[in-house]
Structure 1
C-alpha cells in the first residue's frame, strides 16, 4: 500500500521540491535585476525590508487578502472572495493572530494546497493519458511564467487544488464530493461557477446531477453576506473599475478586448519603460495563445475539460482587459495538458528549449513582482 502511494506522489513531490528551490533562488536574486519600488509591497515598505523573503509573497493583492483575514471586509475589498482569508484566519489561531502569523499561515496554505493540486493533477491526467504526458503536464505548469503565484499569498493554489480534485472525484463518479469541492471553489473565485456545467457533463445520472446544484452555494453564501454588509449582493462586480480604468463592470466581448490592445494599448506603450512593455506584451500573448488553445481543446480533450478551459479563460476577459490574465490562466489545467500532449512527441531539444524559454520569462516576471512591479 505504502509503495503504491509513494509511486503516486513521488514525481509531484520531486517537481514541487525542485521548483520551490528555483523560486527561492529567483527571489534572492531579484534585487540584482530590478530596483525596489516604494508602493504595493507586502506589509508596507518598512515591514518588507525587514524580511523581504516573507513579505515579498504578499505584494499587491496579497495585502488585500491579509487585511481581510485580519480585519474583515471593507470597501474596495469585496472583489476578493472569502474562503482563502477565512482559512488563513482559522489557521493563525493555532498560534496567535499577529500579522506575521497570518502571513505565515497563508503561505502554509498556499504551499500545501499547491502540492496537493500537483498530486491530484498527476492522477487526473493519468486517467486518460500516459505517465509521460502526466509528468510533462506538471513540468509545463510549474515552468509557466507566472507560476510563482502558486506559492504567494494568493488564491491560485487553493482554487486549483479544489478544481482538480473536483474533476477527479467526478471522474470516479463520486458526485457528492465533486459538488462539495465545487461549492468551496465558488467561495474562492467567481470562475468556480464554470465547474457547474463541466461537472454535469461528468455526472453518471440525472439523479446525481441534482447533487451538483450545491456548487453555487459558496458564491450564494458570499452574496448573502454582501447583501447584509452593503445592501448589494453584487458588490464584488460593481467595484471592479477601482482596479484599473481599463476594466468595466459591464461585459465586453473578447474581440473587443483584442481590438483595445491592438489599436489603443500596444501602440501607446512607453517603450522605454521595460516593466510596462513586458507585462502588456505578456498579457496579449497569453490572451492570444489561450484563445487558440480554448478552441483546440474541443477537438483534443474531454468536453468537460474544454468547457472549463474556455469558461475560465473567457470570464475574466469580460471586464474588458487582459490585465491579470497571465495569473488567472494558471488554473486552466486543460491548457497545460494540451501543451504536454504536443511536447511528448517532440525531440528532447525542443522540450528543453520550451522549458528554458518559459523559465526565463518566469525569472523576469517573479523578479519584477518581488521588487514591487505589477505583473498580474
Structure 2
C-alpha cells in the first residue's frame, strides 16, 4: 500500500473524528470535570481542548511545567518530546497543547506506515487495508489523535519489531528502550524480542549475541525513569504504587484475571446505574473488549509469530493486575498483532457481514468519541 493512501486513510479518519466532535457539541451536555485546559479554554476552543481531556490534562501539565506530586504515573517520553518540540514552535500553554497533538498525530501516521511494512513481511499486501481499517474504526481509536501517549508508544513498538525482524537489532533496542520510558507495558518487548532473537537463531539468521544485547537494552528506558523517581521521591516504583489514586476499582497489589472477570460479572454489572448511559456504555465496552481480546490473544499463539503472541499476552495482562478493566479499551490499542489476526478472519467473512461489523464499529467509535470530547469517562 502506498504511503499516499495510508495518509489519506488517516486524514479521512481525522475528519470523521472532528465530525463526531461537532455532533457531540450539539448532542451531549458538557461534563465540567477533567476538561482539557479547564472550562474557560474548552468553551473558547473545543476543537483544540476537547482532545486533551482526562489524562491529557496531566500530560499537558507535565509538558508545560514539569512533574508534580502524583503525576509520576505518567511516563516521560511523550510529554518531554512535546516540550522539546514546543521550544521550536510555541511554548505557551496553548502552543504546547497544539504541539502535543501534532506530535501524537504524526507519531500515529508513523506507526501506521510501520505497521504496513511489518504486515508485508509475513502476509500479502491485501491484508494491510483491513488491518488499518479495523484499527481506525476501533471504538477508542480517537486516543491516537488525542494528547495521549498511545500513538507514540504504538509507533515505537511497531518500529522496534520491524527493525528486529529485519535484523537491525541496534535500532530495535533503541526504539524498545524509548517505548519502556513511554508506557510501562513497553516491558512486554523485552521477552518478545528475546523470543524473536531465538527464532532467528534457529532459522540460522542474524547475530544471536547482538540480538540478545539489544533485547536486554529495551529495559534501559524504564530503568532510567525508575532511577529518576528514586532520586525525586525515594521510590523507584512510584508509578506503580500510585495506581490506586486513579480509581477505587484499582489496587496496588496483583489481582488475577479470573478475579477481574468475576468482579465485573457479579459485582459491577449488577450495581450499575442503568439509567446513566455513559456508565453503562463504558462498562459493557470494557467487558466486551476484555473478552474479545482474551480470545484473540489465545488464538494468536497458534496463528501468529510467537514473539507477536507473547507481546500481545503480556500487554493484555499487565493492566488487569490492578484488578480492573478500566481504561482497557484504550490499552488494547497497542496490541497490533490482534488487529492483524482480526483482519485475517475479517477478510474471510461475507461482504454483508464485513459492512455490518464496520458500521457497528463506526457507530461505537462515534459514541465513544462524543462522550470523551464532552468530558465523560470512556477509557
TM-score by length of 1: 0.97
- The match for 1:299 is 302
133, 136, 140: which is aligned to 1:146?
140
Question: Can you list the C-alpha shifts for 1:160-188, whole angstroms capped at 9, x where unaligned?
Answer: 00000111101100011000000000010
Does the 8 Å CA contact 2:164/2:196 hold for their aligned counterparts? Answer: yes
Q: Which secondary structure state, in structure 2, belongs to the residue aligned with residue 346 of structure 1? A: coil
Q: Which runs of 5+ in 2 are unaligned?
A: 198-205
For the pair 1:239 / 2:233, whether they are aligned, the reply is no
Matching of residue 202 in structure 1 with residue 196 in structure 2: yes
> Equivalent residues in 2 for 1:24-63 (5 A)?
24-63=18-57
- SS for the counterpart of 2:249 is coil
How far is the alpha carbon of 1:193 from its aligned partner? 0.5
Deviations 1:48-102 (A, max 9, x none): 0010010001000000001111111111111000000000100111133210111
Q: Following TM superposition, by how much is the alpha carbon of 1:329 offset from its aligned partner in structure 2, in angstroms?
A: 0.3
Q: Say whether 1:128 aligns with 2:122.
A: yes
SS in 2 for 1:372: coil
Tell me by how many angstroms 1:350 deviates: 1.4
- Look up the match of 2:200: none
- Tell me whether 116-125 or 13-22 shows the greater mean CA deviation: 13-22
Separation (CA, whole Å) in 2 of partners of 1:26 and 1:51: 16
**Partners of 1:329 and 1:26 in 2: CA distance:** 22
Match of 2:273 in 1: 270
Equivalent position of 1:321 in the other structure: 324
- Displaced runs of 4+ in structure 1, greater than 3 A? none
- The CA distance in 2 between the partners of 1:18 and 1:47, in whole Å, is 27
In structure 2, the residue matched to 1:4 is none
| Higher mean displacement: 42-51 or 345-354 | 345-354
Separation (CA, whole Å) in 1 of partners of 2:266 and 2:314: 26
8 Å Cα contact 1:11/1:135 also seen in 2: no
C-alpha distance after superposition, 1:99-119 (max 9, x if no partner): 011101101100100001111
In structure 2, the residue corresponding to 1:36 is in which secondary structure? coil
Total equivalences in the alignment: 370
Aligned partner of 1:254 in structure 2 is 257
| CA–CA separation in structure 2 for the residues paired with 1:44 and 1:100 | 12
- Residue pair 1:83, 1:188 contacting (<8 A) in 2 also: yes
Indicate which of 288, 292, 311 corresponds to 2:291: 288
Distance, in Å, in 1 between the alignment partners of 2:89 and 2:2 is 33
Q: Tell me the residue number matched to 2:201.
A: none
Partner of residue 79, structure 1? 73
